Amino acid sequence: MSHDCNLYLGTVHGFPGAMNERCFDHVVGHVRTVAADLPDGRTGDHVRYPMEDIALSAFAVFFTQCPSS
């Protein structure tokens, strides 16, 4: 992640530590780029979704969690 993204973290819409759209798009783009290079050992009818979509689905599960206290 570039250092520019850190400039956009802070209070967004009253939520401390929230991420704005520009930074979120940067993070998603980075995950998509890295995931596109993942090896894909699937064969046959099991290749409907590209690896980057699978990785973004996993990212979404962790990104939308509430932080632990």
Alpha-carbon distance 56 to 33, whole Å? 11
Alpha-carbon distance 45 to 27, whole Å? 31
Token pair for 1: 């992640």
DSSP 8-state class, residue 18: E
Looking up tokens 């250092």 gives 3
Per residue in 56-65, pLDDT tens?
A: 998 888 877 7
Per residue in 7-64, pLDDT tens?
A: 444 444 555 556 677 788 888 899 899 999 999 888 888 788 888 999 999 888 887 7
- The model's pTM: 0.58
| CA angle centred on 42, ends 55 and 24, rounded to 5° | 10
